[in-house]
Amino acid sequence: MKKALLLLAGLAVLPAAQACSTDWDITLETFGEGVTIELRSGVPGKSKVVATRKSHGGQVAFHKLCGGKYFLAIGNEEQVSVTPVRTFENNAAYSSSIVVQMGQGNVKTRSRSSL
């Protein structure tokens, strides 16, 4: 059976099963268990929440993502740690190791409402 390819305004749109098959597995070292991790699409200041997870044992995973720009907001309060934006391709698997430390690294602190 052939899969249909939809052409929309000159753009090829893959069927959802093909387009949204990216995985992101994260090893997270932070302050305590049960820390909220928001996966956000877009860039800080113009983003939306895609999924929310709680850290347990330092492993967090997001599956069936579409290609695009993503970042994480990490924390349970209004002030959260924000990772740099990453651009993901379709049909890929990514892994990251993130260490949240006070005053170090490339994780910035921002208010959740500013994201």
Q: Domain containing 44: what range? A: 14-114
User: Is residue 73 one of the residues assigned to a domain?
Assistant: yes
Give pLDDT, residue 102: 62
92 in a structural domain: yes
Assess if residue 43 is contained within a domain. Answer: yes
Task: Give pLDDT, residue 105.
Answer: 56
Structure-derived torsion over alpha carbons of residues 105, 36, 20, 12, reported in degrees to the nearest 10: -70
Q: pLDDT at position 25, please?
A: 93
Q: Could you tell me the CATH number of the domain that includes residue 22?
A: 2.60.40.10
Considering its fold, how many domains does the chain have in total?
Answer: 1
**Residue 25 has which token pair?**
């597995």
Which pLDDT does position 8 carry in this prediction? 38
Instruction: Walk along the chain (115 residues) in steps of 10 and give the mean pLDDT of each run.
Output: 39 53 88 84 95 86 94 90 92 88 67 85
What's the pLDDT at 70? 96
Q: Record the pTM.
A: 0.74
- Tell whether 9 is covered by a domain: no
Q: Are 92 and 65 in contact (CB under 8 A)?
A: no
